[in-house]
Amino acid sequence: MQTLTPPIAPLTSEMLTVAPTSLAATLSTDPAIRRRKTRSVPVGSIMIGSEHPVAVQSMINEDTLDIEGAVAGIRRLHEIGCEIVRVTVPSIAHAKAMEQIRDRLHTTYQNVPLVADVHHNGMKIALEVANYVDNVRINPGLYVFEKPLEGRTEYTAQEFKEIGDRILETLAPLVIKLRDQNKSMRIGVNHGSLAERMLFTYGDTPAGMVESALEFIRMCESLDFYNIEISLKASNVPVMLAANRLMVQRMDELGMAYPLHLGVTEAGDGEYGRIKSTAGIGTLLAEGIGDTIRVSLTEAPEKEIPVCYGILQALGLRRTMVEYVACPSCGRTLFNLENVLHKVREATSHLAGLNIAVMGCIVNGPGEMADADYGYVGKTAGTIALYRGREEIKRVPESEGVVELVALIKGDGKWVEPEEV
């Protein structure tokens, strides 16, 4: 038996009118990113907060007890654009080594904003290292470690408060020292190391991460200390996004405006590590959330820095390199687009701030490169048209295209010679 398909009803204007969902109603259609207003917090010579550029951070992987190695690692990162460098400090000996590292940087290079990373039962370590660094990062879940009680199924309100009081007593000397020296603290919450009482009370959730941070913020505020930045990191991107969004919501409710440090912890390596970090960091930055960032890769830390600046450039938050606009190539392309883009990049990549378009044909030419300062467009087979903005300046043989593009930029006074390596 033949099955008859019912006729498809024609679309009507009523069918095309879709009521906006609550999600759609909250999405911004403004192409400009409006950063959330946050207070300015010093980390050495760098200020972080909404009135300042989004700062780039990383962390050396040298042992802090290796003074020369640590100094070299810090310098390598700083020279390629890392503005704040974090150093692990797992013991008193490591904390004391930071004095030599700081002094060696001062005498052989320059002062670099330094953050000490303090974790397990780090009270004495943090107090010592606070003398030599600009910022101390503590993890609320590990700073005062509470040994789990076997068989426990909950924390009473009284137990919760008593532990909080003990933490404040332990934290206060560090807060007072940082406050009196006008230094800063990062309250760095990690999804994988929440305190047991937070896990029992809020579960392994973004809410537990947020409440952990808020508890430490309130302790700092009770001691008149406000040089605080917050981070809520997870290796799971949706958890990291949810935690930071909830943190902003709760801070807005409470009248707090502390800057946020963004990162996807343990992102891994290679292409996927970069994609994962960009998915988390870039999404929040596009929403106006975030004042400093780190891309955490299982690679040499120097490889993290270009990714950070790439994310910031793509969102228009910082211009530190040439912006290249290039079509994806198709059957209309009149030259080898990949090879030419490589040659153009080799010749011009040092001209930070310029926008250069490389288009394979006139179809994708003037219209789609409207925002470019200069354009390199396939006009006919073997012929390139060079543009300044939307204006065609000249046509040249393809073999001379890159040389003539450089000459055009030089003629406009926008050329600088690349630094010798």
Q: How far apart are CA 373 and CA 201, in angstroms?
A: 56
The pTM score is 0.89
The 10s digit of each residue's pLDDT in 289-316 is 999 999 999 999 999 999 999 999 999 9
**Distance, CA of 380 to CA of 392 (rounded, Å):** 14
The whole-number pLDDT of residue 366 equals 66
Question: Which residues share a beta bridge with 339?
Answer: none
Give which of 261, 254, 319, 249 is closest to 285, Cα–Cα.
261
Task: Report the share of the chain in percent with pLDDT over 70.
Answer: 90
What whole-number distance in Å separates Cα of residue 91 and Cα of residue 64? 10
pLDDT at 2 over 80: no
Determine the Cα–Cα distance for residues 366 and 357; give it in Å rounded to an integer.
9
Residue 11 binned pLDDT confidence (cut-offs 50, 70, 90): very low
Tokens of 128: 């010592």
Tell me the fold of 323-411.
Sulfite Reductase Hemoprotein; domain 1 (3.30.413)
For residues 146-171, one letter each, b for 16 or more C-beta atoms within 10 angstroms of the residue's C-beta and e for the rest, the string is eeeeeeeeebeeeebeebbeebbebb
**Would you mind telling me the total number of residues written for the chain in this entry?**
421
Alpha helices in 223-363 (DSSP H): 237-254, 270-286, 304-314, 337-348
The torsion angles phi and psi of 301, rounded to 5 degrees, stand at -60, -25
Q: How far apart are CA 173 and CA 226, in angstroms?
A: 15
Beta pairing partners, 43: 46
The CATH code of domain 41-314 reads 3.20.20.20
* Per-residue pLDDT, 364: 63
pLDDT tens-digit profile of 160-203? 888 889 999 999 999 999 999 999 999 999 998 898 888 888 88
In tens, the pLDDT along 203-248 reads: 889 999 999 999 999 999 999 999 999 999 999 999 999 999 999 9
Question: How far apart are the C-alpha atoms of 291 and 36, rounded to whole Å?
Answer: 9
In the chain, domain spans: 41-314, 323-411
